[in-house]
Structure formats: C-alpha cells, structure tokens
Amino acid sequence: MTHRIGVIGGDGIGPEVTGAALRVLEATGVDHELTHYDLGAHRYLEDGTVLPDEVMEQWRGLDALLLGAVGDPAPGVAAPAGLVERGILLRMRFELDQYINLRPFRLTDRVDFEVVRENTEGTYAGEGGFLRKGTPHEVATQGSVNTRMGVERCVRFAFERASRTERKQLHLIHKKNVLTFAGDLWQRVFDEVAGEYPAVSTGYDHIDAACIHFVERPERYDVIVTDNLFGDILTDLGGAVAGGVGFAASANLNPDCTGP
C-alpha cells in the first residue's frame, strides 16, 4: 500500500524539521508518495496566498499531512498576527475534522505520559464578537462551544489510549468548579464512558492543579484528556517539562479516517 503524504515545510525551523522527519520515513522502508506544498508566512508575504481551496481539496484525498511550522519567517518581516496560523492550522483541523490533538511526552521511564486534546471546539470554535467596537463602551465576548458529540468522541478516544498503556490510567483535566456548564458536560460524559472501561482507573484535576503537578510530579499522569484551550496550554507546558517544545511531537488526528 502506498501512503500519500502532503508535506508543508512552512517557515522558520519547519523545513529543517520536516526534512529530518522524511529521512526517518525513508529509513522505515514504508512505500509512500510525497507532494510538497509551498505555504506559510513567507508565501503570504510574497503573493497573499494562505491556503487555496484547490489545495484543501487535494488534501482531502491524502492519507497524511506532515507540517513543519508556520509563522513569521524572520524578525521584522511580519504577516498579520495569527492570519497564517488560523488560515492553515485551524482550517486544517476544522475542515478535515482532525478532532484529536495527541501529544506524547517522555523524559524518563517514570515520566511518560500523553495528552489527548479536543481539537475542534471550545474557545477556538470562533463564537463571539464585538459590541460598540472602538468606543469607551466596547464589549468583547469569546464563547466556548462544547457539544456532546465532540466531547464524547474525544473522551472515548482517550479511554481507548489509556486501555492500551501499562498503567491504564486516565485523568480528566478541566475547571468544573468555575466553568460549571462545560465542566459538567465533560465530567458527565467522562463518567458515562468510564463504565465501558472497567480496567482503566480514572481521576480528575483542575487545570491549575494539573499545571503544578506537571512541574512538580509529572509522573503522576499516564493519559490526560481535556478541552481545546486547556489542552493547548498543558501541552506547551508538557513540552517544557520533557526537554523543550522543539522536541515535542504532535499529531492532529481524524480517527474516523474521513480525511488525513
């Protein structure tokens, strides 16, 4: 079977990282077919291109995408803040339904855990807006969207991961004492799905407590499941704990295989 892979080197260290990854891929001997795409902040600054619709359509037919990094290519040469990141990264996640972000971290035999982050909902869903923008009475709102379907498929994926580890342990991380609506949904779904996995031990930590544990006792964790925003923060902290964000692996996954 030939694996069709799209490669986006992007900006900064991105081409170097993807180049190293492709050498590893070659060493595996896996049959593959590569298509390279020139995208990123450098491309936007050249001709205004972010992610053409025809490229997105091509991606739908691939098996995987290998992305290096996107962002400003050099100090003092800036694309509008967040434009390329939203236009490529978030569009990939939403349109290809990459609803899982999986981040493994390993420092020692005792510090070996992974974070399962919901990747298409929460505060990154884009719900919100301005009232009276630019006036002294301006109001900005930014909502958090959590659907039962979105939460359940993420939680179920995390239980499957935990069921295959040696420790068979899964922690839910949230802030349910303050975020009472979203937190309640996450906890209820977590508890319901837990009944299908009696071999997996479960726990809960507030996000602030989890940050402390990441620094002081990261060996506490095996598999973690959390929402989009908390997962974004925790995985960057996890990268620092495990030796640096530059060494942290990351995958945006569509477990249903309806896209790469």
Q: Active-site residue numbers?
A: 124, 175, 208, 232, 236
Amino acid code (one letter) for 114: E
Task: Please check whether residue 17 is in contact with residue 69, taking contact to mean a CB–CB distance below 8 angstroms.
Answer: yes
Tell whether the torsion through CA atoms of 192, 197, 198 and 202 is positive or negative.
negative
Tokens linked to 13: 């260290």
* Residue 69 parent element (H or E): strand 64-69
10 beta partners: 69
Chain-centre distance for alpha carbon 108: 23
In the block, which residue shows the tokens 């967040």? Answer: 82
201 beta partners: 169
- The secondary structure of residue 11, as a DSSP letter, is S
Task: Please check whether residue 190 is in contact with residue 156, taking contact to mean a CB–CB distance below 8 angstroms.
Answer: no
- The secondary structure of residue 145, as a DSSP letter, is B
Distance CA 43, CA 26 (A): 27
Q: What's the residue count for the chain?
A: 260
CA end-to-end span of the chain, whole Å? 16
Distance CA 112, CA 104 (A): 8
